[in-house]
Structure 1
Amino acid sequence: MFTLPQPKEVETIDGCPAVPLTDVLADFEDVMRAIYDPFHFDTLSPEAGLSAVITFISGILRVSTKYNMHVLRSKCISIIAHKFPSTLAGCDRVLSAQSVYEPSDIVRVIPLARETNVPEVLPWAYYLCTHIPTTKLINDSVLSWRDKALCLAGKEKLWEAQKTITHTVLFEFTRSPTCTIGCTSRLPTMGWRDTETLRASPHPLEEYTGMAALKFCAKCQAQMETQHRTGREKVWEMLPEIFQLGTWLDIRRDQSC
């Protein structure tokens, strides 16, 4: 390889051939900092918001993906995955922490994940996008029309899942076979305004904490809690398919390629 003839006219820097790169200069500068400064990632505060996280890792992730810099790529993925979980336990963590996701930041993640082949973050990113008001989502200049369509169609599927899988107690209650006090007469009443609020921003993965307040018997409450828990697990497994991403197994296999 070293005996191959070199071009007669080639740009050099300090006598060394210069190789032109098509990468964004700022992205490459970020990579150089990450390579030569062993504490570069420590400069990102653990409390940093999503906007700061995306800005910090985007350039490094793009370049490290392009040039197969596996260590840097893995580090960037671990940082963004902390905000966009790929497990139900991770989902519960961000929900309990009441993490703040601004719409303008969420929509930046989707094209970045597609460009750099990080599909693990997409299901939660799409899920969050379904909470963006429809008009604002349609007028967004970052998302593609395909992504907008996936979000809008996904919103309807999430609403159906909330009604029939995770939060059925709010819409249709089935009494426990061992109930002896007629709990069906204590069903909560949902006004049309409450229903419309839920439909406009479905959240089937949210833990329902109002079971005790419904004052059902212990048998019925236990049945409802089990149904709610297993329902959330089921919807989480369905999440990639809701947004036409295959299964979680497909996603992990694709990302490892």
Structure 2
Amino acid sequence: MPTKYLAQQLRSDVIKHLTMIYPSKMNELQTYRYLRIPNSDSHSLRAIAMARDHDVPIILPAAFYFASAIAPSQLVGLHPKPRPDDLAAILAGREKITRAAYRTAWSWLFKRLTVDTCYNTRLCEERRLSMIQNISLSPEDAPRLFLRGMPHEDEEDRREDSESSDSDSEYEEERVCRPCLEDWIFSERKNYKKVWNNLPLYFKLPKWEVLLKDSE
């Protein structure tokens, strides 16, 4: 009896540990990343296997997502090797997330400027073009959408730094105006959430609510 209890407790602890690392909420994704084995890309592959073995499907979307952020050339050489259907889902999901990043998460940058209260349309358009160019230089970063800061965050930091300095006008030519930045932040956060809500579907998994119910 004690052995059975200990086994159940161990299983419960493992599941709790995995659900912390591979959460169902976007804002928790970075919170417990330190619990993963440092520099171990295979951690997410082991998590996928454990999720299937222990019937904990709620961790699958985030585990698949972490796996999709691994370069394909590196992924195929990792151990344990993912099941063929899982490998196919990871690679297909990577492509879908890349498209979603450009189409949805970063869509504000590509849209025609429509903020009526924009202080300087020309400067804001130039700043957006600069951001687009920076993103296009590293297309391999697109699958790491949720593992990096949102594009607007650098601009937000720049504005806060310049507004706290004595030479505010010196930086005015280098940043988007406050109304555009606020519109950008609102759009980007909303669209990142949209991509996250669709995360299970990118890997041919059931919707979040179904996974939550199946994990109860």
Percent identical: 24
Quick one: distance in 1 between partners of 2:137 and 2:23?
28
Find runs of 4+ consecutive structure 1 residues off by over 6 angstroms. none
Q: Do 2:108 and 2:187's aligned partners in 1 also have CA atoms closer than 8 Å?
A: no
SS in 2 for 1:93: coil
TM-score, normalised on structure 1?
0.65
The aligned amino acid for 1:187 is R
Distance in 2 separating the partners of 1:169 and 1:108: 36
Q: For residue 139 of structure 2, what is the amino acid of its counterpart?
A: L
Q: Would you tell me which structure has more helix in proportion to its own residues?
A: 2
Whether the 8 Å CA contact 2:93–2:203 is kept in 1: the answer is yes
Does structure 2 conserve the Cα–Cα contact (< 8 Å) formed by 1:130 and 1:151? Answer: yes
Instruction: Please point out which of 193, 202, 215 is paired with 1:242.
Output: 202
SS at match of 2:74: helix
Between the two proteins, the alignment pairs up a number of residues equal to: 191
Q: Is the 8 A contact 1:211 1:225 kept in 2?
A: no
Unaligned runs of 5+ in 2: 159-173
**Compared with structure 1, are the counterparts of its residues 126 and 174 closer, same or farther at alpha carbon in structure 2 (3 Å cutoff)?**
farther
The one of 211, 214, 218 equivalent to 2:178 is 218
The one of 62, 66, 76 equivalent to 1:128 is: 66
The alignment status of 1:142 with 2:81, answered yes or no, reads: yes
Q: 1:88 aligns with which of 26, 29, 32?
A: 26
AA at the equivalent of 2:97: L
How do 1:114-125 and structure 2 match up within 5 A?
A: 114-125=52-63
Q: CA RMSD in A?
A: 2.7
Determine if the alignment matches structure 1 residue 233 to structure 2 residue 193: yes
Q: 2:126 aligns with which of 168, 181, 185?
A: 185
Structure 1 gaps, min length 5:
1-30, 36-59, 61-68
Partner residue, 1:154: 93
* Structure 2 residue aligned with 1:176: 115
Cα deviation for residue 114 of structure 1 reads: 0.8
When the two structures are superposed, what TM-score results if normalisation uses the length of structure 2? 0.76
Structure 1 residue 230: Cα displacement: 0.8
Cα distance, 1:79–1:185 mapped onto 2, change above 3 Å: closer
Q: SS of the counterpart of 2:70? A: coil
Equivalent position amino acid for 1:156 in 2: E
**Which amino acid letter does the alignment assign opposite residue 207 of structure 1?**
G
Matching residue of 1:104: 42
Q: Post-superposition shift, 1:72? A: 5.1
Partners of 2:5 and 2:184 in 1: CA distance: 50
User: Aligned letter for 1:174?
Assistant: L
In 2, Cα distance between equivalents of 1:117 and 1:78: 13
Q: Which amino acid counterpart does residue 28 of structure 2 have in structure 1?
A: G
Partner SS state of residue 151, structure 1: helix
Aligned to 1:64: none
